């Protein structure tokens, strides 16, 4: 097993590559989470609207 030393000049490149990989991997997870939160808010708004309509109808 051989260890390679990364020079100071190569550090920004390594950090940029790791950041790009993390964003590429984590992007869909963040997008899916945001979509789930948005659908929960939409469901909550629908339930509140239906409850208000039910109250006003007197059912």
**Which stretches in the chain have pLDDT values below 50?**
none
pLDDT confidence of residue 6:
63
pLDDT confidence of residue 8:
65
CA–CA distance, 47 with 40 (Å, rounded to integer): 11
DSSP state of 5: P
CA–CA distance, 46 with 43 (Å, rounded to integer): 5
């Amino acid at each position: 097993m051989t260890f390679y030393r990364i020079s100071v000049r190569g550090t920004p490149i390594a950090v940029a590559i790791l950041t790009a990989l993390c964003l590429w991997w984590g992007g869909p997870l963040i997008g899916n989470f945001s979509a789930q939160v948005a659908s929960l808010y939409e469901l909550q708004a629908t339930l509140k609207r239906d409850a208000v309509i039910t109250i006003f109808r007197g059912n």
